Homo-oligomer: A and B are copies of this chain.
Amino acid sequence: MKIHVLLSPLNADEIYFTGKTTVVIDVLRATSTIVSALENGAREIIPVNTVEFAMKVSGTSFGGQTLLAGERNAVKIDGFAMGNSPLEFKPEVISGKSIILYTTNGSKAIVKSKFSENLFVASFNNLTAIARHLLNLGEDTVIVCSGMNGMFCMEDSVCAGMLLDEMIQSHQSLELTDSGKACLVLYENVRSDIHAMLKKTEHGRLLEDKGFSEDLLHCAKVGISDVVPVYSTGVIKPFVKEEV
């Protein structure tokens, strides 16, 4: 089983993903938020790569029964119902809703990977479920670290490293490229103290400055959700095992 890691979505273009099995990670905070939203009963998430497209989809699709969510520079966008904090996505607010999500890094990375044959969304929160799902699937996989404004970010790479480590612990022999090996080294350098790592990252410090310290605590929790978010034809829903 070959696993390749893109340390930034800029390392590949859209067509690269055609036919691939892909996992997108944006720990702070888009993919943590998507996991929370689906865990708490959202009907689906519609990731978009521009605010304009978010507005358009909101008005014309899904019977207008949508919630607009997202951020620019970590802060809720004017006129949107919600920001990009996973803690906002409570059952009483989002249950049964279609949520249109625009974020600086994660939602764009998911949209960029849209031609993938299988496309999943991972964070520390659902890391164990994703590791298990990938092992069951047994396909060569590309992990996309959403990064920060096109640049490398530490937290997504450490998360990718922890995902690889979990798969290796399950006695899966993985064939890794340089970037995968680097993620393992970065994870081994951090190990269990994910929250301390998040606090030291560029993005983590930015979020703490803007008052989102609670988000960091939440995003650092490993394996608290069994949701495997799957993207298909424009929307993200929880994976449901088909009955035989």
Contacts and interface: CB of A to CB of B under 8 A. Distances in A.
A8 interface: yes
Contacts of A185: 185-186, 189
A152 B202 contact: no
Contact of A154 (B152, B153, B178, B189): B178
19 contacts: A5-B152, A6-B151, A8-B10, A8-B11, A10-B10, A11-B150, A11-B152, A151-B179, A152-B178, A152-B182, A153-B178, A154-B178, A154-B181, A177-B202, A178-B202, A182-B186, A185-B185, A185-B189, A189-B189
Contacts of A10: 8, 10-11
A201 interface: yes
Contact of A8 (B5, B8, B202): B8
A99 interface: no
A33 interface: no
Copies in the complex: 2
Interface residues of A, number: 25
Contacts of A6: 151
A122 interface: no
A243 B30 CA distance: 55
Contacts of A181: 154
Given A11-B151, A150-B11, A157 B182 contact: yes
Contact of A201 (B151, B152, B178): B178
Interface centre among A177, A178, A203 (most CB of B within 10 A): A178
A147 to B, nearest CB: 8
Contacts of A194: none
A7 interface: yes
Interface string A176-205: 011101100110010000000000011100
A16 to B, nearest CB: 10
Interface in A200-243: 201-203
